[in-house]
Structure 1
Amino acid sequence: MKTILNIIWLVLCGLWMCLGYFLAGLLLCITIIGIPFGIAAFRIGIYALWPFGYTAVDRPDAGAGSFVGNVLWVILAGWWLALGHIFTGIALCVTIIGIPFGIANFKLIPLSLMPLGKEIVPSDAPFGVR
């Protein structure tokens, strides 16, 4: 079932959201300071491309640096990506078939705003295993 959902997601919005994250990642990697943010954008872009079967969890070793980085992320790219998820989610919720995918888009908004200090893991992985 995850594969079918991922294929439908890919066609409806996954490819476009992934391209948005990759564009943000490329722009952020222009400077040396932006490289960690660009890597986070690429990581989340792959998750946005194929999200079903994976989940984002908090990293226990994330500290104050992640918070500061997330504040910078929101200013540099996060709010653009969150707007993309909002508009795509609203557009998908117009049809009955698209409602689950719209809700999945809305669930990606917190990750698009605060990606640092998070890790993408398989949904069926035992708790605490990365």
Structure 2
Amino acid sequence: MFRLIFNVLWVILGGLELALAWWFIALIFAISIIGIPWARAAFNIGLYTLWPFGSDAVRRDTALGQEDIGTGALGLLGNIIWVLLAGWWLALGHIVIGLFLAITIIGLPFAYIHFKLVPITLFPVGMMVVSRNNMTQPYSQRS
């Protein structure tokens, strides 16, 4: 019940705008063929940003039990490029906002979410969003 309440509050207080921004970025990446790996990563971050309470970002190879192109050497290269060009300042933004929200008791759950977004914002390629209730089922395929 608390997850639902916190997720609704998160969406109302800026989570929807953040998710839409990530999906817009994913669309821009997808338009350029070379940006498709980052488009998928940005879409996953958007899913995670929209409904973060009760979900976790995990490596696809850990959750699914098999490697793919995004979890191997090319995924590592994609993450290095991402962190150098965009990941570090996006993660820094989440850290700063999280610290600001952590000042108040009411802001603590939302600060937690911003801190929880840091790892996937730094290294998104090869990650997927899963429900804590079913750690192997991607968030986008839940019923």
1:39-78 to 2 correspondences below 5 Å: 39-60=40-61, 61=67, 62-78=71-87
Contact 2:83–2:123 under 8 Å retained in 1: yes
Task: State the one-letter code of the partner of 2:12.
Answer: V
Q: Give the superposition deviation at 1:29.
A: 2.8
Cα distance in 2, alignment partners of residues 16 and 87 from structure 1: 18
Cα distance in 1, alignment partners of residues 42 and 112 from structure 2: 21
**Which ranges in structure 1 are unaligned for 5 or more consecutive residues?**
none
Please give the secondary structure, in 2, of the residue aligned with 1:41. helix
Cα distance in 2, alignment partners of residues 106 and 20 from structure 1: 18
Cα distance in 2, alignment partners of residues 90 and 21 from structure 1: 22
RMSD, aligned α-carbons: 1.9
Cα distance in 1, alignment partners of residues 107 and 33 from structure 2: 40
Cα distance in 2, alignment partners of residues 11 and 86 from structure 1: 21
Aligned to 1:110: 119
Mean alpha-carbon deviation: is it higher for 104-113 or for 74-83?
74-83
Q: Give the superposition deviation at 1:72.
A: 1.3
Query: Deviation digits for residues 24-72 of structure 1, max 9, x if unmatched?
Result: 3233234210122112101211211111121111222121111111011
Task: State the one-letter code of the partner of 1:25.
Answer: A
**Which ranges in structure 2 are unaligned for 5 or more consecutive residues?**
62-66, 138-143
Which has the larger helix fraction?
Answer: 2
Aligned to 2:9: 8
Task: State the one-letter code of the partner of 1:97.
Answer: I
| TM-score, normalised with respect to structure 2 | 0.78
Structure 1 runs of 4+ with >6 Å offset: none
Query: Deviation digits for residues 74-128 of structure 1, max 9, x if unmatched?
Result: 13332232133123212322321111210221121011010112121110115xx
| TM-score, normalised with respect to structure 1 | 0.85
Please give the secondary structure, in 2, of the residue aligned with 1:121. strand
How many residue pairs match? The answer is 128
